[in-house]
Structure formats: C-alpha cells, structure tokens
Structure 1
C-alpha cells in the first residue's frame, strides 16, 4: 500500500532545523549567531520585519527568534503574521521588558512558544531553542504520520469494499491457472512416456527380432496397472521402466545379447547381472525418469533375497520393481531369453504360479495371472478387435496394439486414432520396407 511504503521509506526529519534570527541591532544578531552557530548550521538573520517575512516566504523556517522592540514592524506584529501564514514555525520572543504591552500582544496574538529576557542566559537560550526545534519536529512528524494514517485508512476502506469480489476473482484465476498447469504437466508426462517408447524401439534395433520384448512387457504392465487401479504416477514410472528396462544391454556385444543366461559362461553371467545397474545409471541424469531408474535397478531382485544387484527381499524391493519382474520374466520365458528353450503361454503362467513367494511377490501373482489369461483370451477371441492390413484401414479407427516396423522401431502407439494422412504414410512406409503390416483396431471405435 502507498501509505505503508511512505512509512517504510520516508526520510527522518532534519533535527538541526532552520532558525531565523530577527533583531534591529547588529551586535545583538552577532551575539545570537555566536551562541547558536555551533549546534545549528542553517541560521538566517534579518534586521527588520519586512526582510524577515521575505526570508520566511523563500525558506522553510522551523523556529524564529524575534526581538520585541523593533522600529517599523514590532516583534509582536511580526510574530502575529508568522502565526497566520506559517503556523508550524515555533515562535520565540526576545524582550528586555517582559511586562511591556508588546510582549503581552506577542503572547496573545503571536501565540509564542516562549519569551526570553535580555540579557539572556546562554544555556537557557540554547536549551529553549533546542526544545522549540524538538517540539516543531515532533509536531511535524505527528502530522506526517496522521496524514499517512488517514491515507492508509482510506485505502483500507476501499480495499475492504472490493476485497470479497477480488478474492473470488483471484480464486477463480488461480483455479484456472492450476487446472492449466496440471493439464500441461499431464501432457508433458504423457509426451515423455511416448518419447521413451520411441527410444525403446531404437533399443530393439540392437536386439534380434525374436528377443524384442519391450513392447510386450509394456502392454502387460499397462494391463496390470488397469487391473489393480494404480495411481497415475505409478503408471507413468512403470511405463518408462517397462519400455527401457533392458537399456543396460546396449553395452553388450551381439553374441551376449542373443544368448540366454542359463547357457552363459561365468564371466558373461557376471556381466549379465550388471545390466540393471547400468540401465539405472543411464537414466539417473533425467529427473523425470529417476523413479523409473530405481525400478529398473531392482527389477531382477527376488522375493526370497537371492536376486541381483543388491540382494533385496520381500517388501524391501520397490513395488514397481516387483511389478516389472513378473512381466519381464513371463514375456522373456516365452521368447527364450531366460532359458535355452521357449515356454508356451500356459507354461509361462505356471512358472509364475510355481515361483510365487520365491521369485515373485505372492500378492501380485494371482492378479497378474488373471491379466495374462485375459490378454491371451482377448488376442484369440475378442470379436470387437479386427486385424487389418493397410488397404482395409479407414479414418476414425483406433489402434489397439502398438505397431512396430520390421526393424523393431515403434511406428504408432496404441490408442492412436487413424487419419487418412497417417494411413497414406503407412502405405508408403510399407512400400519402402517391402513389408505388409497387420494392425489391430477395435470394432466399437469403427462404429463410432
């Protein structure tokens, strides 16, 4: 508020003050100047009332000391003018006749602060002047603060009159801004997850086609998140972790990447056990991926504590890592990435059930098995899903499963509505790759 700023930044008044000495006798003026000059640097002098009034008009005078008996305009007359035109100026009368009628008039009409008799006492003169200046400054400061107080009071009144409306208006603005920020944050997070999926498809370029597991792991984890209604934060962290869980394998040579752990030599097996730590270190510099990096580090821990890299057990293993562990094992068992032979769907489910409480969190196994069975059933019998080539696609269809190129690169993520422009680009891409794509789209979306 302006008033508050005035108080905070206002300069303190000049306590030295400005003094005007008026006397028609030069020797008296000289004596007064000698008495007061040491303590007061700004001192004016005049030898008559007319000159004194001119000086008052051109200078801010805090205190005037005036001789009572001067030719022309008497001291009483001068102080009466000063009282009318400059009432804030402290007025002191200097007289040799305290009972003189001029002194009485000065008291009555000039409303003087004090009068001193000639010859004066030096200490009394200085004390009286100093007290007069202190009074003048105190009164000036009081008026200044009163003015600020009145201004503040008026501003507070105006503020109170509009405060409720302004609070409501500001609340609406804040709610709208918070909504926009939340929406922007969610959009950014989704974009970040999508970017990791694209990056995951680049990882697949190093992996043999039969061992490109990221997309299947991501789909299974996403279905599990739906099943148990995980929070959006958990879903996003798991989406990033499932897309990039094997990023640490990029440092391997092609022979090691293509091998399965049960047939690795000791040195290769030791290197295999480091890939979760390498994956974590590659992602820790990306702040939005920090929690996902922790999940990746611990996704090979076992419920019984015999896993790696840190030998954590039970609930000491981060929840997201326990979720990812089941999904990666289930998918990699079917792709021949853990054992030298590939397991079928039922065998992989049976392995999850068998090792519940040893490798896996037992509380997660049954919900996961239900999700696995549901996905298998949907892929084989869901009549709401069509598998179409690009020639039969129509704008408005919505993709049910991620579409990957032959190289493993992600082309379109699940949930993406198909447009005519996007379909034409797929046709061109097919021709360039000399490939034929099969897309999973939902019937209900087509009808809509």
Structure 2
C-alpha cells in the first residue's frame, strides 16, 4: 500500500441515532431496513412462517396502505390493483399511529454491509426534489413513527457499519465516471475506446474531461460549463423568473431543482470496503444505467477540500458565498419541502477562490440531503418587489442539498494531474450487483 492508498484519518463525528431520525434520507434508510426480513421466515408464496414474520408482514401492509393514502391525499396519480371483492382503502383506514403500533411489534434485525448498500441504493433512487416526498417518507416523518423507528436506528448504529461514513475525502482513491447512456444520448464517451488497466501518462495521450461525455450531435446544448458561464446563466435565469413573477405572482412555474456545481467540471467518487465504486450504486435521478467506465484520478497534493459533514457546513458556504435563486427555485422546492421563502445556494464561482473541491460524504449526505437548511435569520441579498418572497412560511433564508450523489466531490479548480487507471463496471442483473470487468 502506497502513501496515497492509505485512508485518511476519521473524524470523531460519527452518525448518531438522532442524525438518522432527524433527516429525510436517514429516516428513509432506517425505515427500509426496518421492513427487511429473513427469507427463511416466509414460504415460497411469501406467507409468514413465524410470529416475527407475521408482525413484519403486518407492518409492511400498514406502511403500503398508509403510504398509498398519503400519496392520494396530496394528489399523486396512484392506483391500487384490487382482487375480486376487495375495495380501495379510504382516508383514515391506516394512519401513522397504526404504522407506529405495528412497527413496535417488529424485532430489529442486525443489517449486513450488503443490506446497508442495497437499502441505501433504494433510498437514493427515490430521492426527488421536484415533487412532494413519497407517501411512505411522509409517514416516516410523523413523530410517532420516528419514535417507533428508534430501536431500528439504534441497531444500525450498533453494527459500526456507519462509522467509516464520516471519513473525509480519500485523495488516493478518487474515480471519475463516464456512463454508457445510449438510451438517452447517441454514441459513447471517448473513454470507452481506451484500453483497461493502468495508464502510462508518459506514453498515452492524457484523458480529458470531454472524454467522459458522449459526443455531441447537431444543435445540442453544451455539456461542459465553466464556473463563470454557469454563474451568468444562473443570474440571467433568476432575472427572467423575477420578471415573470412580477407579471403574475400567482403562477406556479417550475424550474431547476438541483444545487450542484455545473456538469462541466470533473467529479469523483470513492469506494465501499469491498472496492465497489460508491458512485455506480448510489445515483440520484437514475435512468437505469448499467455500464460505466471509471478513471482513477491523481490529484495535486495541495488540493483544498470543503467537507460537507452536515447542514452547518453547507449553511456556512451559503452564508459566505450566497447566490439568490428564490425566483427560479420557489415553486419546485416548495413542492419538495412545503416551504415558501428565500432560497440561496453557494456561488460556486466564489467558493472556488477558497476551495478546489467540495465533498459531500456519505454521512454528510444522510444528514443534509432533502432537509431545509437554515442559513440565517432575515435575508441575504437585496430587497426588491420582484423577489417572490411574499407569503413566506418563515422569514429565514434557507438552502437545499439536492442532486448530489453520496460521496461525490466536485472539483472547482484544475487540481487533477492525470488519470492513472481505467476500469469498467457493469450491472450484473443475476447477482443484483455492480461488478468490475
């Protein structure tokens, strides 16, 4: 093992039970694990064989019905397939109190690393920031259900599996990904033409950022953005949305929902303990991707990293480098959070003056993604009639971590010296796992 391969020292800010139960993604993870069971306690038709399995089956039923009713009550287009003689459940048939009661009869099981990775993948695939949370997530947020989930969160913490999730960025183990996304774009990124294995940077042409993107055809929007271009686009969009708001303040206009830096930057991910790339398993807004090329990066040793360990780290970036996006995010983030008010994101063009990379680790993601993050009391930025903050639910400025894949680092400056290795990863449907090669 070389010095670059040695993992960084862990911070003593391990995830707690309260961290998991207080955050949307943490609750979803615990909720999903709580509903897992042992296959040998069910027969081939899925019928429970033990009292413990029967309690779990009842909990799953209640969660399904309560989630369906929550979705229906918020206007989601949901349907239930009914058997002969069955009738669709009605409002109040199964409540959050009922779900909490059945969960309290379920015995928490000790999850394995595979259980944790699989359930985390389910959590990430269901993360959405452009519409209300799924009904099951709304049920999990109810105070009585959160308390019923406490024993399951305690069991998860007791395994120690989450201890490494607080690790800062590992500079010797960063991989950039290029996807085979033929269903959405024609042609493969140039890196798919590269041989696999170690790259001799003295003999082979350097792999560039554009090698990770599919080729452009015809009049296609640019995939690569610089930070200055990105800032100009955000400011222009905000101005246009403010003008539209001034003309019709009651019109519900959707907009961009993510708070990441632009796509035209290098980004990278690390690995699970078994070496599987975290970034191939945990993908927000996934299109069913099944093949990727991974490029191992050599970073400049003096790269400056902003670690997002929790909401306060994100709020600090927003306070120091605020970029007002209230007009263009007001409706879409209201749908996701039920909050009206002033919204900001970090101005990545200014963050780049202090930091070369921004890393949202696994623990940081669980603590922050999807949660309304208070930035400050009062308002950051100018007062103007065209800023659509009338009818706020509060007088704070807030932000949202949205669109970040867990354990992702965006590189704001040129600190990547070379690509040292290229590897292929593919999804094995039979094994239900990503495998290398």
TM-score range normalised by the length of the shorter chain: under 0.3
TM-score (norm. length: structure 1):
0.19
Task: Choose 1 or 2 for highest CA Rg.
Answer: 1
TM-score (norm. length: structure 2):
0.19
**Which has the higher relative contact order, 1 or 2, with Cα contacts under 8 A spaced 6 or more apart?**
2
Higher strand share: 2
